[in-house]
Chains A and B, each alone.
Chain A
Amino acid sequence: MNLSYRWLDELVGLGGRSPEEIQHVLTFHTAAVEAVREVGVGLEGVVTGRVTRVRPHPGADRLRLCTVDTGGGGEPQEVVCGAPNVAEGQVICFAREGLRLPNGMKLKKAVIRGVESAGMICAEDELGIGESHSGVIVLGEDTPIGVEVAGVLGAHDHVFEVEGSDITHRPDLWGHVGFARELGALLDCEFTPPATPLADAALEAAEGEPYPIEIEDEEGCRRYVGIVIENITNRPSPPALRYRLEALGMRSIDLLVDLTNLVMLEQGQPLHAFDLRFLESGRIVVRRARPGETMKTLDGEERKLVPDDVLICDGERPVALAGVMGGEDSEVRPDTTAVLLEAANFDAARIRRTAARLGLRTEASTRFEKSQDPEAAEKGARRFTQLLLEHVPEARVTHGIGDAYPRPYPPLDLELPFDLTTRRLGLKVTEGEIRRSLDALGFGVAETNGGLRVRVPSWRATKDVECVEDLVEEIGRIRGYESVPDTPPVGALTPTRPPPLRRLERRLGAVLSLDLGYAETKNYAFYGPQDVVRLGIDDVTHLAITHPITDEQDRMVQTAAANLLRDAAKNVVRERTGRLWESTRLVAPREGESGLPTEVGVLAAVAWDTAATDDSAGALFLGLVEDVRTVLAAAPIDGVTVRDGASTALNARLPAPAWLHPGRQAVFEKDGRILAVVGEAAPSVARAYEIPGRAALAEIDLEAVLEGLGDVGAAYVPIHRFPVVPFDVAVVVPRRTPATVVQAAIAGANPRGIRNVALFDVYVGRGIPDGHRSLAFGCELLDPGGTLNTRKADKIRKRIRSVLEKQGWTVRAGD
């Protein structure tokens, strides 16, 4: 929304306050003025003049010699002019030689085809206030001559820019009158809306019956006002009107169209003028569009309509898409002589849907979708009539005002206790100030017991003001919030710290970032069909986005793998190895017909090594397994078992990790619940994501870890003060027997007498049968009650040996 400083000044009287002051006042009390733009600058010295004589140029057919009187008894100026429309008697804009014009042109004394020219008669573009170069600007005949044109045209102005989103709740601020009323209240000066005496008198005197209006679609149309005006000569608008419209960002068309727009900018009420010649049935019908119906809007487009659209019809035939755009075959033209002026009020939601569906956001639809005041319809119609009669005195209002008003808003009264404002703002506001502020904004105020009964004015009552809190805001913003003090809230002291899940996330994140050297990244929660194919999980239902930004981000992720591999791929050029982690959520669609999907909070990690093309030992994978073990230990969580993964999903609702290397997967579990899945990316998947070498992936289910959390207080075990005996044992086992199984067997041989069982060597080679490995473990033997004697030590060693051999394993060495 653009606002003219000059126009506001005309409406309310700004008392000489600068545009910057007004910007500040509006920004801190009404709505942010984002920018102030000065327009029509650099016209100093360009004055009005009268063309007293026009003669042919002796040396050129298309040029003429004009004599210009610039008043004040000065010498007449001789000017060479090429414009076709220049004529004797016109009042024009004269720029004397030596001036610099707003378009950058410096006027030098020129000799044109042998004739000296003392200056220039200006066209619009030369004065920087329009684009037209088709002819010189012709001012009204009664314009005084010898005065600065900047003043005459009203061209010098400041335009305030207000973001539409900042006034979306205020239908009344979509016209200058609304802002003028605000300024009246803020600057403490009287605001009177523009009067319409000519229109009122003409409508009173009109003898013809009002134009018939039938509203069938009362939901879509609250009110429809129609006025017939005849005997009009349509014409280009006078320059001052044109400049005002253009400065505010609207294109000038002709007087009739320009006046509808001017009234809209003034009152906020959109208007539409039909050429009466093209209304054949003699009645206006407002109805829903029929299925399959079409109409051609005045931009020449054939529009397909749906029953949600509100149509203005000439009898049966659609002539306007209500609240959005008029029809092509009934719009006013240069030769229009009679109009039916429409000033209506349409349902905000319906207009918004139609405009959105057709991608046709117009000045009118933008206003109607804010819930305009239906009372403004009649005001707007009368204002248009007034202005038309001022510009075209011979125009005739022949019929009374047609007004179908099926759905007025009921009056809205609010009971405002005097103390509420002070309590809500935390700032003392007196009863007098409350009364004055509301009154200045047009609210009706009547005193009741301990407060006020406030009647909301029609222009605030369509959706904007609906409860007493809204009134508190009115009073607060008229006062301004600079004087609100800082007051600490007071309340009971209660312990606050992050909830358990957040604390767990913080602890584990710290292990990853600080202890283990992972860099934290963040990825979108989306991926696309290509990822699903690459990962091999196309049989799993994803939660899809109906209008994704790109097809490659059209669904919610069910694994962090794709985005982490993409991250890795971005970095492999510069980083031979790298480690990243992120905290994110995996989304499984809901199971029933309603409710929300399941979100699984995970910590996910990727590690890569571009040099590890032939990684027979699986060092990268094992490193990540070890890191996950470290992370889980820090949770802290005890009793975790690790097993070969065999394509196990993190969660039954999530896909099995088809993207992992079939021989390199590990699953961390506690009491049958899966805590984490770790694996190397299958070589084909790494290639698909363009990662040379190897990459490994991990996902840790935070909720599962939280459920399995150990008791921090149970960690202390008294220090064993007696000597222990170290013991090493090497066992030959089948190749795929997990080390953890052997380790557990050793530890289990005598749980109280054996501790710190740790693998220190894996050997395959001479002396070991094919398909077998030798695993060497170290441990400590002890007697929990005292010093371990030789007899007891021997007994434990024998026990270990027999336990291992019972498994069918060969004990290679044990001493």
Chain B
Amino acid sequence: MLDTIRDLEQEALAALDGAADADAVHAVVSGLLGKKGRLQGVLRQIGTLPKDERAEVGRLANVAKRAVEEAARKRLDAFQAAREADLGETEWVDATLPGACRGGGSFHPISQMCREVEDIFLGMGFDLADGPWVEDEWHNFDALNIPADHPARDLQDTFWMEDSNVLRTHTSPVQLRVMKAGRLPIRVVCIGRVFRNEATDATHEHTFHQVEGLLVDREVSVAHMLYVMRSLLQELFGKDIEVRLRPAYFPFVEPGFEMDMRWRGAWLELVGCGLVHPNVLRAGGIEPDVYSGFAFGFGIDRLVMLRYGLDDIRHFMGGDLRFLRQFTRGVEL
């Protein structure tokens, strides 16, 4: 029986040497070692042997099994190595094929600019605030020192609602909402939608977006305002811009300014700003002899148009995917 086992082993090893592929290897192994394999067949007769011979047969059977298994593993490894020897050719894939990504998503360029401006002001220690789109006259006009017969209240400038409220014509009413909340000092910006009752064309939209800023504290000056505005514009447009202040009139500031920015060689009128008018502070419940502040406002749409060189403001509210999907580069998150 010992010889039989040795023969089976030699026979199997020879067959493995000659095996052409993995299947042949597996066939040899299972033919010898499987439940119905020949080695198993031999061992089934082990009961016919005398007891003292059985151990030797068992040992030899194990040796044969390990030898065959080892040979089979080497053979299989060799086949695998041969198969993978030329992966570069056999499994080459064109890496430039398009992927199956869902894609197509984008943020509106106005939202991106809003986000960027928000982040700049948050970084300078300003809070964010917002107010309703439909505002009452007091917040939108009276409290901002815009008296009853001011031209700004004309029908051609303001959307009046049937309930005698208005669609906010600027984000400035949020100044009052923040002041009335009663926490001082105030450092806050509001970025949001505003409405003017005018026909649309390439440079006019009845719905657009404004940034409103307000800082109220003791001894706030024009110099502080200049610092904050310059810092903002430098963050947005680069350190090499220049800014300048011109006198201008807005009822809710005194003195009032227009801030121009020199960018790519041209002076652009960008920001309306000034020290908060004492009447506005008073309306907000703040004592103008103790506190002073500055406020500013500018259009987000205009900044976006400048940044991308857009020629028609109507794209913003136009819902055209050809437009909306262009603004996916350098999105700030």
Chain A positions within 8 Å of B, measured between CB atoms, are: 27-32, 166-170, 348-349, 352-353, 356, 369, 423-427, 467, 469-470, 472-473, 476-477, 481-482, 484-489, 491-494, 496-499, 502, 506, 509-510, 512-525, 543-549, 556, 563, 566-567, 570-571, 574-575, 578-580, 582-583, 585, 587, 589-590, 595-597, 599
Contact = CB atoms under 8 A, between A and B. Distances in A.
Given A168-B151, A481-B247, A546-B162, A486 B223 contact: yes
Contact of B163 (A31, A473, A482, A589): A589
Contact of B227 (A166, A473, A486, A578): A486
A522 B324 CA distance: 10
B329 to A, nearest CB: 14
A497 B122 contact: yes
B126 interface: yes
B224 A599 contact: no
B207 A524 contact: yes
Interface string B86-114: 00000000000000001111111011000
Given A484-B245, A513-B107, A580-B319, 15 more contacts: A28-B244, A425-B223, A426-B226, A481-B246, A481-B247, A487-B223, A489-B215, A489-B228, A519-B325, A520-B106, A556-B134, A574-B322, A575-B321, A580-B321, A597-B163
A563 B317 CA distance: 10
A549 B197 contact: yes
Contacts of B127: 496, 499
Interface stretch (B3-11, B54-62, B254-262): B254-262
Contact of A477 (B106, B125, B198, B255): B255
A776 to B, nearest CB: 26
Nearest to B250: A169
B126 to A, nearest CB: 6
Nearest to A503: B128
B132 A487 contact: no
A578 B321 contact: yes
Considering the complex of A and B, which 6 residue pairs feature the smallest CB-CB distances, nearest first?
A: A426-B223, A426-B221, A567-B319, A473-B255, A349-B149, A487-B223
B222 A543 contact: no
Contacts of A498: 118, 122, 128
A476 B255 contact: yes
Contacts of A426: 221-224, 226
B249 A168 contact: yes
Contacts of B222: 424-427, 476, 481, 484
A30 B221 contact: no
Contact of B247 (A30, A509, A556, A597): A30
A649 B158 CA distance: 31
B162 A543 contact: yes
A510 B333 CA distance: 8
Nearest to B139: A596
Nearest to A370: B151
B125 A596 contact: no
Contacts of A167: 249
Contact of B104 (A27, A476, A519): A519
Contact of A545 (B108, B110, B115, B161): B161
In this complex, the member of A28, A168, A170, A424 whose beta carbon has the largest number of chain B beta carbons within 10 angstroms is A424
Contact of B221 (A425, A509, A518, A546): A425
A517 B321 contact: no
A369 B135 CA distance: 26
13 contacts: A28-B247, A168-B151, A424-B275, A426-B224, A486-B223, A488-B224, A496-B122, A496-B127, A556-B134, A563-B319, A574-B321, A578-B104, A595-B136
Interface residues of B, number: 84
B255 to A, nearest CB: 3
A677 B261 CA distance: 46
A589 B197 CA distance: 20
Given A168-B249, A423-B219, A491-B185, A522 B133 contact: no
Nearest to A563: B319
Contacts of A494: 125
A353 B148 CA distance: 11
Given A484-B223, A525-B193, A597 B155 contact: no
A167 B154 CA distance: 18
B133 A585 contact: yes
Contacts of B102: 516-517
Contacts, number: 234
Contacts of B132: 596-597, 599
Given A469-B254, A469-B255, A502-B128, A487 B105 contact: no
A469 B5 CA distance: 113
A423 to B, nearest CB: 6
B315 to A, nearest CB: 10
B160 interface: yes
Interface of B: 102-108, 110-111, 115, 118, 122, 125-130, 132-136, 148-149, 151, 154-155, 159-163, 165, 167, 185, 187, 193, 195, 197-200, 206-207, 215, 217, 219-224, 226-228, 230, 244-249, 251, 254-258, 275, 277-279, 292, 316-322, 324-325, 333
Contacts of A469: 254-255, 275, 277-278
Contact of A31 (B106, B247, B255): B247
Given A516-B105, A517-B105, A522-B317, A427 B125 contact: no
Given A477-B247, A520-B111, A467 B122 contact: no
Contacts of B126: 496
A523 B247 contact: no
In this complex, the member of A349, A523, A525, A563 whose beta carbon has the largest number of chain B beta carbons within 10 angstroms is A525
Nearest to A593: B163
A521 B134 contact: no
A500 B102 CA distance: 30
A486 B234 CA distance: 13
B209 to A, nearest CB: 9
Contacts of B248: 32, 166
Nearest to A493: B125
A295 B30 CA distance: 119
A28 B254 contact: no
A28 B246 contact: yes
A43 B191 CA distance: 55
A487 B254 contact: no
B104 A579 contact: yes
A566 B319 CA distance: 8
A419 to B, nearest CB: 11
A83 B230 CA distance: 64
A520 B113 CA distance: 13
A516 to B, nearest CB: 7
A295 to B, nearest CB: 23
B108 A522 contact: yes
Contacts of B167: 525, 545
B278 to A, nearest CB: 6
B125 A482 contact: no
B130 to A, nearest CB: 8
In this complex, the member of A167, A486, A570 whose beta carbon has the largest number of chain B beta carbons within 10 angstroms is A486
B162 A545 contact: yes
A546 B278 CA distance: 33
A369 B106 CA distance: 49
A473 B247 contact: yes
A513 B221 contact: no
A281 to B, nearest CB: 32
Contact of B128 (A427, A499, A582): A499
Contacts of B135: 596
B105 A427 contact: no
A626 to B, nearest CB: 12
A595 to B, nearest CB: 8
Contact of A571 (B245, B249, B321): B321
A596 B132 CA distance: 8
B3 to A, nearest CB: 47
In this complex, the member of B155, B185, B222 whose beta carbon has the largest number of chain A beta carbons within 10 angstroms is B222
A486 B165 contact: no
Nearest to B245: A481
A520 B331 CA distance: 13
B224 A520 contact: no
